Amino acid sequence: MNTPASNTLNLLGRLGLAALFLPAGIGKITGFSGTVGYIASVGLPMATLGAILALVVEVAGGLALVLGYKTRIAALVLAVFTLVASFFFHAFWSMAPEQAFVQQLLFWKNIAVAGGLLVLAAHGAGAFSLDGRQRA
């Protein structure tokens, strides 16, 4: 259904999701060496390339969500990125119990975010978006 209320909720949802990715991507730019070190600390190879890829996905994907541009593709890319990052950076199952609780919360939060992104990928950006203007 394409009503003003559903389009408004879609826009608010896109902005909420972008609020997670844009600051994270910008933080990776401003703290690039720390990001590289963090990626390397979990044993991933090519940490510098991984940091560049992560910041591009987060900034470009976040902006795409805000603008509603190529939203389905951006949401799919961000969902896959979020799921992959969750398994490497919030692996609560391999941590000491005193560390596992917070990481478990972060892991399941990311699963929920990925779920929201998949819904957005399925239904698109709505009328209040660049995608919606191209259809009109």
pLDDT tens readout for residues 11-27: 999 999 999 999 999 99
pLDDT of residue 123: 95
Q: For residues 2-23, b (16+ Cβ closer than 10 Å) or e, as one string?
A: eeeeebeebbebbeebbebbbe
The answer to whether 65 touches 14, Cβ cutoff 8 Å, is yes
pLDDT of residue 134: 84
The answer to whether residue 64 scores a pLDDT higher than 70 is yes
pLDDT band for 41, please (50, 70, 90 cuts): very high
The answer to whether 79 touches 35, Cβ cutoff 8 Å, is no
pLDDT band for 136, please (50, 70, 90 cuts): low
The answer to whether 97 touches 58, Cβ cutoff 8 Å, is no
The answer to whether residue 39 scores a pLDDT higher than 70 is yes
pLDDT band for 135, please (50, 70, 90 cuts): confident
Query: Each residue of 71-123: pLDDT tens digit?
Result: 999 999 999 999 999 999 999 999 998 889 999 999 999 999 999 999 999 99
pLDDT of residue 1: 65
- Taking alpha carbons only, the member of 24, 25, 17 closest to residue 66 is 17
